Structure 1
Amino acid sequence: MERDVITDVVFDFCGVLIDWQWGEAMKRHAPDWFLEHLDDPDDPYGFFRYEDRMDAGELLADIMPDIVAEQGQEIADLFDYYIAHYDDALPNLIPGVESLLRDLRDAGVRIWGLTNWSSETFHYAFELYPQLEELLSGTVVSGIEKLHKPEGAIYEHAQRRFHLVPEQTMFFDDTARNVQGALDCGWNACQFTSADGARKALRDHGVTV
């Protein structure tokens, strides 16, 4: 059975287009006792949990009282600093993705963004990397829409906004559950590991890049 022709490719941002290194925003500011737990998978100070709430549409001002109550004022101040210096967490584009986007556009494939990102910090993405805004035909941002991957509603929202045909759409995300969310909506989807890997997946689906 022949595959449907891929006409649209949708990209996540952090870990796919932009290298997200959240610790870089903290290393020159946070105390040693905090930095010792910077990469703990259990997230003892709740940074990822609070950021996830912002990605889902809550504002920092609304979350701060919870951080103070749950973690104390010092952790709340550190989180506030992190959000205020979010640009420090975005040191560069993922190698090879800009050329991949340009090759897709030159091949006549439409390219889009779909990201879990706070409405209060997403502006840094295009300020730091204006070529992404130039190359992408549009982006759905979870914190603006108050929808959140891997919930089906955000893929359906992107599908309506971008006029996507699920069978003709390819999605790249570095997180497995978000890939599964796209698959559940009938999209083609692949977990991103590198620009070269994405090129191979696209070639396997008949896209010449």
Structure 2
Amino acid sequence: MTDPTDIKPTDTSTITDPTITDVIFDFCGVLFDWQCRDAIEGRFPQDVVDRICSDDDECGFYRYEDRLDAGEDLDDVLADYREEFGDELAGIFRYYQEHYEDALPRLIPGMEQLLHDLHDAGLGVWGLTNWGWQTFPTAFAKFPRIKALLDGTIVSGIEKMHKPNADIYELAMSRFHLTPERSVFFDDTAKNITGAQRVGLHAFQFTDADQARKDLASLGVTLQHRDAAAR
């Protein structure tokens, strides 16, 4: 996570449209392609992997990961997981957490370019993610260029507050010196969009980079797309 002392107020002097000055991004499903299956497939029996990755979360991976996102420690969560699901699944859950980089196979197409273009337009670019404090460093270690493109990041597991609750959005506004009516938030989860809107942020449910550009344009933010090779 970026040291708050390194965060500077957004310089709006080069922004072509003064209404929107800052854009905030969720991480998994928006900047990073997150795939639990990629971390465990081929390492454990296929039928078990399919059960773990089922939409109804029958093995509780996502439910227990929510507790990590809220700031709990892995050892504490794992003890409760083992009590509910047994040693075999608990071992897989630990393996998944310890090999989290494998669950991040790539960046979402077009998003690195979008971050570059936002910076070129003079907008502030920020991160706001529900993520456990013990696995979050994996994201920036694997994709350091994304860390370099963000002016700061709020991580739920570090702050012990999480989306869609109002306090984490309000923390971002305060720490990054933002105003809700001049800021836009992108997240792939509908309830997190609703939470952002409740505190006054412009917010859009993310589908892909092209749609994000259209959503920004609807607020008057028109970006020049500059090829990365020209930088």
Q: 1:148 aligns with which of 157, 162, 167?
A: 162
How many correspondences in the alignment? 207
**1:46 partnered with 2:55:** no
CA shift digits 1:87-107 (9 cap, x unpaired):
000000000001100000010
Q: 2:150 aligns with which of 130, 136, 141?
A: 136
CA shift digits 1:63-98 (9 cap, x unpaired):
111111100011110000000010000000000001
- Counterpart for residue 219 of structure 2: 205
**1:167 partnered with 2:181:** yes
- Counterpart for residue 134 of structure 2: 120
- Counterpart for residue 103 of structure 2: 89
Q: 1:6 aligns with which of 20, 25, 28?
A: 20
Residue 165 of structure 1 aligns to which amino acid in structure 2?
Answer: T
Asked if the contact 2:52/2:59 (under 8 Å) is kept, the reply is: no
Distance 1:33 1:103 in 2: 43
Distance 1:39 1:62 in 2: 22
Asked if the contact 2:140/2:146 (under 8 Å) is kept, the reply is: yes
Residue 116 of structure 2 aligns to which amino acid in structure 1?
Answer: R
Residue 27 of structure 1 aligns to which amino acid in structure 2?
Answer: E
> Normalised by the size of structure 2, how large is the TM-score?
0.87
Distance 2:207 2:47 in 1: 32
Asked if the contact 2:52/2:61 (under 8 Å) is kept, the reply is: no
Q: 2:35 aligns with which of 12, 16, 21?
A: 21
Asked if the contact 2:52/2:60 (under 8 Å) is kept, the reply is: no
Distance 1:36 1:161 in 2: 41
For residues 61 and 38 of structure 1, do their structure 2 counterparts lie closer, same or farther at Cα, with a shift above 3 Å needed? closer
Gaps (5+ residues) in structure 1?
none
- The Cα shift of 1:30 comes to 1.7
Asked if the contact 1:4/1:167 (under 8 Å) is kept, the reply is: no
Gaps (5+ residues) in structure 2?
1-16, 224-231
- The Cα shift of 1:4 comes to 7.0
> Normalised by the size of structure 1, how large is the TM-score?
0.97
- The Cα shift of 1:37 comes to 1.5
**1:72 partnered with 2:86:** yes
RMSD of equivalent CA atoms: 1.1
Aligned to 1:36, what secondary structure does the other structure show? helix
